[in-house]
Amino acid sequence: MDQIYEQHLWGGVAFDFYSGFGSHNPEITATYLEAVTSFLKAFQKPLAVCDLGCGDFNIGKHLAIHTDTYVAIDIVEKLITRNKKLFNIEGLEFCCLDIAKDELPAADCAILRQVLQHLSNAEIKQVVKKLVKYKYLIVTEHIPLGNFTPNKDIISGQGIRLKQNSGVNILEAPFNLKIKDKKTLNAYVLQHNKGRIVTTLYRF
């Protein structure tokens, strides 16, 4: 992941760190932020949130202000160091962790925004088994249009499963996450048959 940022493999050469167009294109981010903010603001008592893959925090900075506490996690140490210097919000904490290997912080709600799509099935399995500790889970994934074969395996890194007509579905094999219910919060269809970005709320 360090190499992805250092070589700007997700674009954004004018930025020191750039987490991709999905975190910066206003057509994508505006509706996502509206949907997730609406969910967070629906509670009389603000939720404690754990952001499992905060990236450059261009998204998280808008969400953290609507929470009781917000723990933002990323595996890239230099990125976490940079985020700590740039963002100072009450209740906000940054941590450098490997979400597949390390213990995850306690919270009411976890956010996984376009993170699992870059991980191998083995790493996703390690993450998924930890998610039941949260009451709510908000997952955003870039998936193909129409029907597709879920969860084809890849090597963890820059790419995703889209070219294989696949995408991550944590309710399907080999992950089989058990939930009480789910709700689609937001869906954005990309141009030129490049799939859709879907945000789903799961409740345990």
**Domain assignments of the chain as residue spans, ordered by start:** 25-203
Backbone angles phi, psi at 135, to 5 degrees: -80, -35
CATH of 25-203, one of 3.40.50.150, 3.40.50.720, 3.20.20.70, 3.30.1390.20: 3.40.50.150
Confirm if 109 and 49 have CB atoms less than 8 A apart. yes
pLDDT classification of 9: cutoffs 50, 70, 90: very low
**7 pLDDT more than 70:** no
**153 pLDDT more than 80:** yes
pLDDT at 25: 86
What tokens does 129 get? 């088994």
Average pLDDT over residues 41-51: 98
pLDDT classification of 161: cutoffs 50, 70, 90: very high
**32 pLDDT more than 90:** yes
Torsion of CA 121, 7, 24, 117, to 10 degrees: -10
Give the pLDDT confidence of 75-123 residue by residue, as tens digits: 999 999 999 999 999 999 999 999 999 999 999 999 999 999 999 999 9
What tokens does 148 get? 């597709």
What tokens does 42 get? 């629906």
pLDDT classification of 4: cutoffs 50, 70, 90: low
CA atoms within 13 A on the CB side of 58: 18
